[in-house]
A and B are shown apart, each in its own frame.
Chain A
Amino acid sequence: MTNGEENIRDQAAQGAGGTPNTAPGEGTRPAGYCRICGRPLAESEVRMRDGVIYCEAHAPAATPPPRTEWEAPIDAGPGTSPGLAFVLGLIPGVGAIYNGQYAKGLIHVVIFGLIISILEAGAGGLEPLFGMLLATWIFYMAFEAYHTAKRRQAGLPVDEFSSLIPLKEGAGSLAGPIVLIALGVFFLLLTLDVIDLYQVVRFWPVLLIVLGVWMLISRRGAEGSKGGTQS
């Protein structure tokens, strides 16, 4: 995390030939920080791609070709109605379909089905929790469809997997995949009866703790690369 970013920053500083770690100009606030190397940038050095700030060295090609079919921007039709999107979003998958995001719609349906299955199989005492989860999910789908429709209406590019939860693409943090792997391992241990749900469920606040720690670390890391080194 911090270490890695420092390495990148140093290498970038040496590679790009720019002055490392010094703020541009005396006392001027930088116009932005490069997403990749974190170097503070003057107004003229800022390169914007898709709403993200990069420095000259790390800016991807002007209009990068869509990396996967799933990231191609979805065209906004003339009749995009966020209100309608919200209502349709209450039905699993339909909200995403309205926005043209078919793969996401499928995933929404699958998750909905999973929650219903768990409820039906009797989550033994945890039914209220999963009931609330179901309600939350239904509204998440609706709001997500609403927001995506609004973005499309405004003509902003929207990729297949847009969501309310910020997902960093590209060389973003490793946390995402690691969480995914941990989740997978957890479910596997559960389904293979290695651990028992009842033994483990009482530890759920650990997730909050981990989330907090991770946020701390990533913030400290960001601060460290942004303005911490004022030598």
Chain B
Amino acid sequence: MNTPLVTAVRGPVLMVTLGALFAADRFGAAEFGQTWPVLIIIYGVLKLLERLALRRRLEAPRA
């Protein structure tokens, strides 16, 4: 079973987010101590999309 796109991009998306949050902290836009929950939210959203995608797959099982 091939990995869904959502699962595969999860890592890179999180890494980009992490980098962006650290950059925002480094350059004074928003402190990391305030922004870290964004990581949890994004992980949750990706996980949600992943489960939805897997459900859709199972409803139309591959031959």
Contact = CB atoms under 8 A, between A and B. Distances in A.
Direct contact of A and B (CB under 8 A): yes
Interface of A: 4, 7-8, 11, 15, 36, 57-58, 60-61, 64-65, 67-68, 170-174, 176-188, 190-192
B37 A184 contact: yes
B54 interface: yes
Given A8-B58, A174-B52, A184-B44, A67 B37 contact: no
Given A184-B37, A191-B33, A192-B34, A171 B43 contact: no
A60 B57 CA distance: 12
A38 to B, nearest CB: 12
Contacts of A61: 1
Contact of B38 (A4, A8, A184): A184
Given A177-B45, A181-B40, A184-B38, 16 more contacts: A7-B59, A8-B58, A64-B1, A67-B7, A68-B3, A174-B48, A176-B47, A176-B51, A177-B47, A177-B50, A179-B44, A181-B48, A184-B39, A184-B44, A188-B38, A190-B37
Interface of A: prevailing SS: helix
Contacts of B35: 188, 191
Task: Point out which of B34, B47, B61 has the most chain A C-beta atoms below 10 A from its C-beta.
Answer: B61
Nearest to A8: B59
Interface in B22-63: 33-45, 47-48, 50-52, 54-55, 57-59, 61
B40 A172 contact: no
Interface of B: 1, 3, 7, 33-45, 47-48, 50-52, 54-55, 57-59, 61
A187 B40 contact: yes
Contacts, number: 81
B37 A187 contact: yes
A47 to B, nearest CB: 13
A171 B38 contact: no
Contacts of A173: 51
30 contacts: A8-B55, A8-B58, A11-B59, A58-B61, A60-B1, A64-B1, A67-B7, A68-B7, A171-B54, A171-B57, A174-B51, A174-B52, A177-B44, A177-B47, A177-B48, A178-B44, A178-B48, A179-B44, A181-B45, A182-B44, A184-B39, A184-B41, A185-B37, A187-B37, A188-B37, A188-B38, A190-B37, A191-B33, A191-B34, A191-B36
Contacts of A15: 61
Contacts of A11: 59
Contact of B41 (A36, A58, A176, A188): A188
A190 B35 CA distance: 10
A156 B43 CA distance: 29
